[in-house]
């Protein structure tokens, strides 16, 4: 697929106005407070995965509303002592899959927690087990328009909260050095990563690949594909909801979280990405840390000039292996 | 699109084995009992629709779980006395839309209640307002796989219950002769129609157009399109759930309701229908009434030999106008 | 489908040069004179539609060349006296369908005449009956290139003349107050509406939804879909006909009619409309009434920011119900 | 595209019932009589084509209704004496194009007349100039449904008559030996070829490639593409016209002409042809000559097992060069 | 995508005639002899992959013609002693990618060699480095028609030879117990797996997932997608090569290798697989070992009833982990 | 397909920086020197084509590496004396087909040599016979990425050399006036034409239609289709090869050859061309002859405003017939 978004020189400095509600910080502070009223309820069960160099644990913890969230915890086998931890969030429609799929960071010598998104997990890959016990208003299939008329009810309020709780769960895992946490994810996982980066103040690093959920209105206006198309499609039916919907979405726009982030970041972008248009990714990049209250954190951007949404894939993982090693002082 | 299902002579006698759980009747009796524990909570508010020959009311009633369900009630303006009533269920992804879209049966001189499906209503048309407050397990976008591992949690348990409650609401509306009820619907609405036909014993007639949800396993195996494809797609990920999923779906397969129906029926089928394959429709037709406990009710089938899922459209409506007039003795 | 035309702020002021032949007015005056030499030949036959609140009449009148044109006339049942009338033109490829589909404006209390396009009516919907007895040169399938080398032979010369005659027929219907006429239509129907608005001087209102046939050259250059693509496709074969074809089309470009209109207008536009690009609609809007010879008439534009060619659908109808009530002083 | 029609061994003996009207012969006799009441009006004008080895003439003759039909006449330059002639009919949507495209048979040493189809000629290729001055009822874009309710008005009544007149024109051309005529065509041209083979009793040979218009009902039921899809699409709208439409089409079904043919034939078929399914071609092959009143003429069938509608292309031409040389005793 | 191949009960017993050349065994014996005349040239270089639990080596060995073939060798870090080894062949168009992608079997405690296909490796994934220094005749893009007119020149003669040499390389690796080798692969890799199973007599196990290259003629006739479509597309152009092409392909048809295999096998099949139709997979399964000269080896088949070519993915890997553990006595 | 590239007024003056390697001239001088070390090996065999006005010869000559290249030589039959010659290069994926397809320029009175591209010829049309005996690195299917990491190994180094040798072969043919040579081609053939125009100093004319291979980087960035997409697709996998690949491609970019051309040119461009975007064609046009060392040669550009890659087809041939007649003084 050809280039279709802004020219690359304009992309690199693209820093659009992105709507931010005045009560954004209270909203999220209150949301996290509510979630933390539920005990974390961490369960960590060893799993016979058939692997020998990696230990696997089936993890459950309480996310938003105290709802149980499933994750895999993997770590190098036979290593004593607390390890720094990488926390990853799954992409849209995927589940945690099977444990033997989640070994990269354990192979690299770290603790690793892979959280799956609630209520998804059955569109591709090898499946998930986490329900989303919250219903929805009249929505279009998919997650984007569940709760679109009220930020308190929006799906991503729950998922981002789960993401913060996953960091807390990771810190509570046996064998983890909770002072050293890096968060990461691809696409939706990259959006959650940026959200967590804006909500958790003491991360060591943030790695967001082709992140979704940045500058959502632009995404809905120029992306020809789901999931941004879910928003456009919803508004093509619910024609009177445009303003209300984008008001809701401003509470979960990853750009607004990115502004508040203070940890160094490694971000990748596909210049031919039709699912997460590069301008939406650069919107987050160029706002990153602007409201962190401190010095602007470093943001390394890796452009993949001929890639669609698959982005850098294992090439980006190779960069991340080095970047993480440097951050963790490994 | 060309013919792709069985040859037409085989279709007309196609009467496959369709799995039916042994506790099907108890399951549904219990489900309706539970729903009826909630008061019907009927609200009927007049609406200024801009129309003069038709009166419009905004209706809310308690469906499954006592959840509020929205509908339009329309009737000829200025007509005193109780009218027989047509109850219609909306198709997949649609909402009740705007009231001035729902005038056909009022124009024909009847009371008319148009119920929208919960949690849908934002995929096409002019929108809906009914939430589905129940969450879901790890599902594929859409309604088909919400609750697919447990019939008690499946979406269509709720929707079919809403459909039965809609008949009860229709009978309780002011100006309705509750002894004369015909149910109808297209596609998903046709599936709900057949379900209601199997659950409500005293209907005057049943009109199901290109009904969805009949012989679901076959639909999932041969239809190349959503929503049957939602099931196939789910099972392509959740590879171990095949038996469990189809066990759940046997509780909501419209063929099993059709067996229990006792009212005369008018059914339409598109022989080139790719969304609801004609063999699945004929499966319901050829089982219709076989377990009604009485004589086999009449079933008129109207074939549209060159139609896909649009079926007979206004041509079928013309047939229905005559059929309803005859049933209602109008 | 994403935004692909001009940015919205440029759309709103887009007022391009659109070619207009010097003899445009004579051409159309002569055309209408010729048509009026044929008697109107109005036939109005009552129809047993199965409806009770609406009376239905099968209408035939003489259009271009005296050819018989079919329409439905519906009105509220049992209402004596002359009613103001809404005249609607059908969209591309559709027919008048069945009478019970054409009740909206009768339900709203008005007389309503729904005219079908000659020689079309078999592509979607429920069918038409009006032939086009005029043949065509070497054309591409569809109406756009029938007669493309000579404005006197072009299909839309005939259809627009039919549209003017439909107003005359509407005024001659029993029970119609001919001093109060509003014309309307969607897509091709919107193009006919604008043409009639430029040819009939005493209309009360003009409602054009996502109108086709405005700034046809731009449409042929930027729309990826039929029917504008018919023109592009024709010129891809008949490579030497570019100038001659667009000269012909300048006689039937709705922008040139819109310039001459003097009645207030309500226009809708889908900003993601791929069939009738929003810039072509705004070309008509921003030229509307500029050559009316009087003050610029009011033009209300309703933008549907996330809609393709389906535009506002019932939402726009709701606006029209109010707008018509105001115009008709109802 | 894969095999999708009958298995090849069933194809080779496929000889289905194809409806034939009882007055088929009178209908066509009368049609040709009417056409012959118009003088042939043959015009033959030399053209400066830029070619030297081939002479080119622009031909016009009177077809159905006396309407002027355009063709190219090419022959080897500088050859005195009367040559046997190949008459070809163009495929659907094409025109005669430019003269230098029509040299194959002249290069082979024969006279060659290439006739274009009326009213088409602007969909692909380099264009046509022949109008079809006859209008149409409410039709779907394309030729298949023009006049579909009455065989006297159907487009192919006119085109087949043009085809017969083209043979008569060819025989009247200067430099042609009218006793030696072979007709040929691809797709629609193959359908016309078979029709002419059934209507003209003294042809030397018949070459039909991937012929269209054979067993039209089956084509409409199993082909996923235009032009058979035009019929299916029309009937999806005009739902009550099924029987009437196929009655009309029985008058122009090439199978019914093939039955009456008496000249030897060379037919090609693509076993993966989605536009003209191989079973429809074999229907014509296996009925060929069955009502010729004489011995069954030879039919050579060339199967292209992996070809879609492009069929044998130049490979088939090579076979035809040899076949024609043998027939013409060249 | 729906079921489109034979019904499942016919699939399970489908054992078609598949053409086998009389000199199949000599051909391959000679081919392997030639290859073995080149020294194996094994190079094993340690790689800094960033991983800690897995050791990675960059492997080069001499394949067909002595050409250098690239592979990754991974094994659990810090494990002394010789390990049983899994040898895997990559799917069509992929390369070996980056080493950290190839850790599954090392994590499971085995030595693992992942060979990439020559001259491919740039269509998806993270790239390959192995050239194919042999040119090709007039071919269609892709590997299937390179050398299609002569089995000695066909691409898969080279690739299968590389596959056999990969087993020999694996046995020669430091730290490998060469008496315990299992071969595996997906799609093309599954085809190579079956070929190696027929050429190497002393394997411990064979795991082929949704294997390509089985019963190639049927694949070319019924699969709508590349790479089988490469064959169909080639023959649609080179219309005279049908017999010659399939004769060549009979030398590389995996069914003919499967007949000769003697090791137990685990095979997976997607019943909705459009790339490798399930009947082609069952053709190999049902012929497996029939010419092994010994008792029929065990073949376990795992059906994925709703999967296309993605097959069982990680679910199948889980089964393989158990199956391999049993075979290796681990 | 709509306009999608630069506006037409910008196209006409579009003269972008196109990278040119500093050793471009040495590279090509050396390449041609090497090729000429092989004897031309011209073979000219008469062919029984079935044609009479045109003589046909099967030609083989030594191209790059001395590899045999196939061509057709056609000329008017029975014409003594040396004729000026047109040399044509085939488009991507095509072969020379059958001789009777290649008669246009012979019919026009000239000698004509039609060369086919090595290793292609099996994607469309009637086939080719020329192998490419050179292998390739890890490539994507197709020619564009064969040798993409080294200009000495790139496919188009060989094909362009073949093109130059074709001119030399044409000049050596019996019956050819070697002082009068015009080269031509469509798409890939147009790219070869421009390359030859830059490498052969004494041509009479150059006719390139919708030429491929001009400003390749832009093509890879904006064309949505193969073959430019082959480059984009390759780089989406081989993510580290961007600079190296475009360095290689700068040696075969037709813009760099066009700069060096000194013969008058006739170029055609489709303004809606999605395969060879019009801006890439204009890049070549506007650089044409800028480094010829002499006065800028005439370049006539013919725009086809509504054409995709089919361009002018026979219309352009008609222009070429006149243009060639003028150049050859015919």
Of B298, B328, B266, B262, nearest to B112 by C-alpha is: B328
pLDDT of residue E275: 98
What part of A 225-244 touches C (C-beta under 8 Å)?
232-233, 235-236, 239-240, 242
Is the sign of the CA dihedral A165, A167, A168, A172 positive or negative? positive
Interface touch D138/C131, C-beta < 8 Å: yes
Cβ contact E138–F129 (<8 Å): yes
In a domain, A193, yes or no: yes
Please say whether the beta carbons of D281 and D303 come within 8 A. no
| Residues whose CB falls within 8 Å of the CB of residue F33, separated by 6 or more in sequence, listed in order | none
- Tokens for D169, please give them: 């024109």
Query: What burial class does residue C247 get, using C-beta atoms within 10 Å of its C-beta: 0-12 exposed, 13-18 middle, 19+ buried?
Result: middle
Show which subunits contact B, needing at least 3 CB pairs below 8 angstroms.
A, C, D, E
Residue (of D280, D238, D286) closest to D258 by Cα position = D286
Residue to test with chain E: of A314, A315, A317, A327, most E Cβ within 10 A: A314
CB proximity list for C136: less than 8 A, separation 6 or greater = C145, C146, C147, C153, C155, D119, D131, D132
Long-range interactions of A24-29: CB distance < 8 A, separation 24+: A24/A250, A24/A251, A24/A256, A27/A151, A27/A251, A28/A199, A28/A251
Question: What ranges make up the beta strands (E) of D194-264?
Answer: 205-209
* Contact (CB, 8 A) for B62 and B37: no
Instruction: State the catalytic residue, choosing from E49, E143, E187, E279.
Output: E187
Cα–Cα distance for residue pair C317/C304, rounded to 1 Å = 13
Tens place of pLDDT per residue across chain A (330 aa): 699 999 999 999 999 999 999 999 999 999 999 999 999 999 999 999 999 999 999 999 999 999 999 999 999 999 999 999 999 999 999 999 999 999 999 999 999 999 999 999 999 999 999 999 999 999 999 999 999 999 999 999 999 999 999 999 999 999 999 999 999 999 999 999 999 999 999 999 999 999 999 999 999 999 999 999 999 999 999 999 999 999 999 999 999 999 999 999 999 999 999 999 999 999 999 999 999 999 999 999 999 999 999 999 999 999 999 999 999 985
pLDDT score at A43: 98
- DSSP assignment letter at C91: P
Cα–Cα–Cα angle for F9, F13, F14, rounded to 5 degrees: 105
Cβ neighbours of F308 in C, within 8 Å? 236
Q: Is residue D23 part of a domain?
A: yes
Q: Does B142 have pLDDT greater than 70?
A: yes
Q: Report if residue B273 sits inside a domain.
A: yes
Q: Does E3 touch chain B (CB under 8 A)?
A: yes
Percentage of residues of chain A with pLDDT beyond 70: 99
* Cβ contact A113:A72 at 8 Å: yes
Residue E232: exposure state from Cβ atoms within 10 A (0-12, 13-18, ≥19):
buried
For residue B92, say whether it is annotated as part of any ligand binding site: yes
Residue F7 neighbours by CB distance under 10 Å: 9
- Which pTM does this prediction carry? 0.97
φ/ψ of residue B186, rounded to 5: -115, 135
Task: Decide: helix, strand or coil at residue D59.
Answer: strand
Touching pair E, F by Cβ (3+ pairs < 8 Å)? yes
A169-182 in b/e form (b: 16+ CB < 10 A) is bbbebebbebebbb
pLDDT for position E329: 87
Question: Does F107 contact D54 at a Cβ distance shorter than 8 Å?
Answer: yes
Locus of tokens 């149910």: B183
Cα–Cα dist B228/B92, whole Å:
11
CA–CA dist E171, E62 (Å, integer) = 14
Query: D159, D304 in Cβ contact below 8 A?
Result: no
Q: How far is A137 from chain B (nearest CA, A)?
A: 4
Q: What value does the mean pLDDT take over residues E179-207? A: 98
Mutation for testing the E interface, residue in F141, F149, F227, F235 having most E CBs under 10 Å: F141
Closest to A164 (Cα-Cα) out of A87, A73, A54? A87
Nearest Cα of chain F lies from the Cα of E218 at a distance, in angstroms, of 21
Say whether F242 and A306 touch across the interface (CB within 8 A): yes
State the DSSP code for C42: -
Nearest residue in B to D225, CA atom: B1
Task: Return the exposure string of D223-240: e unless at least 16 CB atoms fall within 10 Å of the residue's CB, then b.
Answer: bebbbbbbbbbbbbbbbe
Whether the Cβ atoms of residue F211 and residue F187 lie closer than 8 Å to each other: yes
**Residue E42: how many other CB atoms lie within 10 Å:** 16
pLDDT tens digits along E14-70: 999 999 999 999 999 999 999 999 999 999 999 999 999 999 999 999 999 999 999
**pLDDT tens digits along A254-293:** 999 999 999 999 999 999 999 999 999 999 999 999 999 9
Coil, strand, or helix at residue B55?
strand
Of the candidates A190, A178, A168, the one whose C-alpha atom is nearest the C-alpha of residue A320 is A190
* Strands, sheet with B205-209, edge to edge from the N-terminal-most edge strand: B43-46, B54-62, B68-76, B111-115, B83-89, B176-186, B205-209, B265-270, B299-304
Dihedral angle computed from the Cα positions of residues C132, C137, C140 and C144, in that order, rounded to the nearest 10 degrees: -60
Can you spell out the DSSP letters for D106-117? HHTTSEEEEEPP
Rg (C-alpha) for chain E, rounded Å, is: 19
Query: Could you give the percent of chain E with pLDDT greater than 90?
Result: 99
The confidence score (pLDDT) of residue A330 equals 59
Distance of CA B52 to the CA centre of its chain: 29
Tell me if A2 is assigned to some domain. Answer: no
The pLDDT tens digits of the residues spanning F290-313 come to 999 999 999 999 999 999 999 999
Sheet with F68-76: strands ordered across: F43-46, F54-62, F68-76, F111-115, F83-89, F176-186, F205-209, F265-270, F299-304
C177-210 pLDDT per residue, tens:
999 999 999 999 999 999 999 999 999 999 999 9
Q: Assess whether pLDDT exceeds 90 at residue E1.
A: no
What's the CA gap between B158 and B230, in Å, rounded?
18
Tell me how many domains chain D contains: 1
Query: What residue has token string 């411990």?
Result: E204
| Residue E177 to residues B275, D170, E321, Cα–Cα distance (Å) | 55, 83, 18
Between the CA atoms of A162, A164, A166 and A169, what dihedral angle is there, to the nearest 10 degrees?
A: -120
CB F320 within 8 A of CB F51: no
| D218, two tokens | 């089956």
Q: Is F108 helix (H, G, I), strand (E, B) or coil?
A: coil
F contacts of E141 (beta carbons < 8 Å): 93, 123, 141-143
Does residue E145 sit within a domain? Answer: yes
Q: Provide the pLDDT for residue B329.
A: 87
Nearest CA in chain D to E237: D307
Calpha distance A79→F221 (Å, rounded): 48
Give the pLDDT of chain D (330 residues) as one tens digit per residue.
799 999 999 999 999 999 999 999 999 999 999 999 999 999 999 999 999 999 999 999 999 999 999 999 999 999 999 999 999 999 999 999 999 999 999 999 999 999 999 999 999 999 999 999 999 999 999 999 999 999 999 999 999 999 999 999 999 999 999 999 999 999 999 999 999 999 999 999 999 999 999 999 999 999 999 999 999 999 999 999 999 999 999 999 999 999 999 999 999 999 999 999 999 999 999 999 999 999 999 999 999 999 999 999 999 999 999 999 999 985
Which other chains touch chain C, taking contact as 3+ CB pairs less than 8 Å apart? A, B, D, F
In which band, very low, low, confident or very high, does the pLDDT at E234 lie, cut at 50, 70 and 90? very high
Asked if residue B330 has pLDDT above 70, the reply is no
The beta strands (E) that lie in A137-264 are given as 176-186, 205-209
Which pLDDT belongs to residue C82? 98
Domain of residue C271: give its range.
Answer: 8-328
Buried/exposed code over C113-152 (b: 16+ C-beta within 10 A; e: otherwise): bbbbbbbbbbbbbbbbbbbbbbbbbbbbbbbbbbbbbebe
Confirm whether C1 is domain-assigned. Answer: no
- DSSP strand pairing (D83-89 vs B111-115): unpaired
CB atoms within 10 A of CB E252: 23
Under DSSP, the state recorded for F116 is P
Element (H, E) at B305: none
Q: Which of C48, C52, C315 to mutate to test the interface with B (most CBs of B within 10 A)?
A: C52
**Residue A269 domain-assigned (yes or no):** yes
Element (H, E) at F297: none
Q: How many angstroms separate the CA atoms of B89 and B91, rounded?
A: 7
Residue C104 sits in a domain whose CATH number is: 3.40.50.1820
Cis peptide leading into residue F37 (ω within 30°): no
Residue C47 has pLDDT above 90, yes or no: yes
Please count the residue pairs, one from chain D and one from chain F, whose beta carbons lie less than 8 angstroms apart.
Answer: 85
User: Which listed residue (D67, D132, D154, D187) is catalytic?
Assistant: D187
Share of chain B above pLDDT 90, in %: 99
Task: Look up A273 and say whether it is catalytic.
Answer: yes
Asked, for residue F100, whether it belongs to a domain, the answer is yes
State how far the Cα of C99 lies from the Cα of C111, in Å rounded to an integer: 14
Instruction: Return the SS3 of D88.
Output: strand
A and E: number of Cβ contacts within 8 A: 84
Burial status of residue D264 (CB atoms within 10 A of its CB: 0-12, 13-18, 19 or more): buried
pLDDT digits (tens, 9 = 90+) for B270-328: 999 999 999 999 999 999 999 999 999 999 999 999 999 999 999 999 999 999 999 99
Query: Quick one: chain B helix, strand, coil %, rounded to 5?
Result: 35, 20, 45
Tell me whether residues B100 and C314 touch, CB distance under 8 A: yes
The answer to whether B325 contacts chain C (CB < 8 Å) is yes
3-state secondary structure of D84: strand
- Residue pair F177/F85 in contact by the 8 Å Cβ criterion: yes
Where does E3-145 have alpha helices with state H? 8-11, 24-36, 104-107
């Amino acid at each position: 697929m050809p280039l279709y978004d802004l020219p690359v020189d304009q992309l690199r400095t693209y820093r659009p106005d992105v709507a931010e509600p005045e009560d954004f910080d209270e909203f999220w502070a209150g949301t996290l407070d509510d979630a933390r009223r539920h005990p974390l309820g961490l369960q960590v069960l060893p799993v016979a995965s058939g692997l020998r160099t990696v230990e696997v644990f089936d993890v459950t913890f309480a996310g938003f509303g105290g709802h149980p969230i499933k994750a895999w915890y993997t770590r190098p086998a036979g290593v004593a002592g607390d390890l720094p931890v990488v926390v990853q969030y799954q992409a849209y429609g995927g589940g945690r899959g099977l444990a033997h799929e989640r070994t990269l960071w354990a192979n690299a010598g770290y603790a690793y927690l892979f959280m799956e998104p609630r209520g998804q997990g059955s569109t591709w890959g090898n499946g998930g087990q986490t329900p989303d016990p919250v219903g929805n208003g009249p929505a279009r299939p998919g997650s984007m328009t569940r709760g679109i008329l009220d930020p308190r009810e929006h799906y991503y309020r729950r998922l981002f909260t789960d993401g913060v709780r996953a960091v807390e769960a990771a810190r509570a895992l046996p064998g983890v050095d909770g002072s050293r946490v890096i968060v990461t994810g691809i696409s939706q996982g990259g959006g959650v990563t940026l959200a967590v980066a804006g909500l958790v103040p003491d991360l060591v690093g943030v790695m967001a690949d082709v992140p979704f959920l940045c500058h959502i209105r632009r995404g809905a206006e120029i992306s020809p594909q789901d999931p941004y198309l879910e928003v456009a499609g919803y508004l093509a039916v619910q024609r009177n909801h445009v303003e209300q919907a984008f008001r809701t979405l401003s509470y979960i726009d990853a750009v607004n979280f990115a502004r508040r982030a203070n940890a160094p970041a490694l971000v990748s972008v596909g210049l031919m990405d039709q699912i997460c248009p590069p301008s939406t990714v650069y919107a987050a990049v160029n706002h990153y840390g602007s409201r962190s209250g401190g010095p602007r954190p470093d943001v390394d951007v890796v452009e993949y000039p001929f890639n669609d949404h698959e982005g850098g894939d294992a090439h980006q993982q190779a960069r991340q292996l080095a970047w993480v090693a440097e951050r963790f002082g490994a």
